[in-house]
Amino acid sequence: MSDGAEQIGSRPGRTFLFLQGLASPFFVRLGESLRSQGYGVARINLNLGDRLFWNIPGAVDYRGRFHNWRGFLSKFLDERGVTDLVLFGDGRPYHRVAIATAQLRGVNVHVFEEGYFRPHWITMEEGGVNGFSGLPRDPQTLERMASELPDIAEPQPIHGDMRARTLWDVLYNLSNTFVPYLYPFYRRYRPNHCLVEYAGWVGRKIRGDAEAKRAEDVEKSLRKSKAPYFLLPLQLDSDYQIRLHSPFSSMTEVVNLVARSFAAHAPANARLVVKLHPLDNGLVNRRRITNATAQATNLGERLLYIDGGDGEALVDGAAGVVVVNSTMGTMAIDRGRPTVALGQAIYDIEGLTHQGTLETFWNDPTNPDPAMVRNFRKVVDARTQLNGGFYSREAIAIGVDNAVARLVKLAPIGQSRAVALEWSDGRAYRVARSAVPGE
């Protein structure tokens, strides 16, 4: 079988190796576009789902054990002359090893993720994203860089297709569940079995109408009341933002910590609203846990829980927003709301977020500086954001066109790694050291 590098044609020296993406045709469409322009395209499938979402000649299957993955990939990169590594997310164990292995060889690493700003954007960043991002954290650097950039162009509106997204997800996961013997040593990166997750989703769907009504009632009461409220939007326990870039192991820990602080230091008439993540699988009864926390902290009805609601309206009405490191934080900052981040976040910068303690936030929250917000948005957009999406064919087409345009303009091999090291103050070294759990 061809290794894909034979398709380079008139553009020698650029071969893109694709690893795991989302359960979406985005990566195969991106690979087809690059290949049609004469670039080399290769792929390593780690499971049957990967294989089903890739039909470009040149793919190979890795069926070995995880501890042999580094050696296999090192040989592959060297023999195939790979210059660019493309993957989704930098937290999966296979991807952490791959990024470190590629960076040691000067291979450009392009990490895709959901957009830092949503819903019309996706992220494509060199070296890493989120806590491994190379974006500057210094206000002066952001100001200088922003002054050299044009204003942000108005994006094309992006609309997802939930039916297609669900179908793709089920196809990807069930193929791995029911035909595991083709890749016997592959282990899913998510903590729960997919059938367990789907069962949780069914339960959440059954409760959907009742939860929507409860959320609507809470929102009405918040609008009528003159008392301030603070918003705590939850993330997912399985999110690598939590698992790698925060001091927490679960959202239960987050709720308990924030609620105790709120009970001890917040104004007596203030309320705390806990909002469930829209993609939570429902396996943990967040309502029951939040109610138990309300009783344990003597907050009672001052601690509210909602599954649903209008996220933007809730942010706009809040006296402040408490996040670990979710993109709700970028939304809140962009909308001028005081925000405090409890984990490692690209936006946790002086002038954007509250730099004091959580205890001081309740009574004296810091508003984001509008000029700093503009600088931050311009730099993040120019360095990492692409107009497009992963979950509808139209959104994928827009995203692929923009991704190709940026990929082919990036620095030649070897230069992007130097830039990443300069900007991240040793981030690539930390990625390499943390590539394998336990090392």
pLDDT of 275 strictly over 70: yes
State residue 429's pLDDT score: 24
Confidence of residue 417 (pLDDT cuts 50, 70, 90): very low
pLDDT of 136 strictly over 60: yes
| 422/279: higher pLDDT | 279
| Residue 414: Cβ within 10 Å count | 12
Both structure tokens of 409: 């303009």
CA distances from 60 to 47, 50, 163 (A): 11, 11, 30
First to last CA, the chain: 35
Query: Which part of the chain has CATH 3.40.50.1380?
Result: 5-163+379-425
Cβ atoms 318, 231 nearer than 8 A = yes
pLDDT of 5 strictly over 60: no
pLDDT cut 90: percent of the chain above it: 85
State residue 285's pLDDT score: 94
State residue 190's pLDDT score: 83
Return the DSSP state at 356. Answer: S
Strands 121-126 and 385-387: antiparallel
d(CA 433, CA 427) in angstroms, rounded, equals 10
Q: What mean pLDDT do residues 246-260 have?
A: 97
DSSP assignment string, 88-108 = E-S-SHHHHHHHHHHHHTT-E
State residue 412's pLDDT score: 52
Confidence of residue 226 (pLDDT cuts 50, 70, 90): confident
Closest to 395 (Cα-Cα) out of 169, 115, 189, 65 = 115
The label of the residue with tokens 């089903």 reads 52
Domain 200-376, what fold? Rossmann fold (3.40.50)
Domain 5-163+379-425, what fold? Rossmann fold (3.40.50)
Mean pLDDT of the chain: 90
Q: What mean pLDDT do residues 282-287 have?
A: 94
Cβ atoms 404, 141 nearer than 8 A = no
State residue 430's pLDDT score: 26
Confidence of residue 209 (pLDDT cuts 50, 70, 90): very high
State residue 413's pLDDT score: 44
Q: What is the dihedral of CA 265, 267, 271, 274, to 10 degrees?
A: -30
Q: Per-residue pLDDT tens for 185-198?
A: 999 888 888 888 98
Q: Per-residue pLDDT tens for 332-364?
A: 999 999 999 999 999 999 999 999 999 999 999
Q: What mean pLDDT do residues 143-152 have?
A: 94
Both structure tokens of 369: 């500086």
pLDDT cut 70: percent of the chain above it: 90
Q: Per-residue pLDDT tens for 121-132?
A: 999 999 999 999
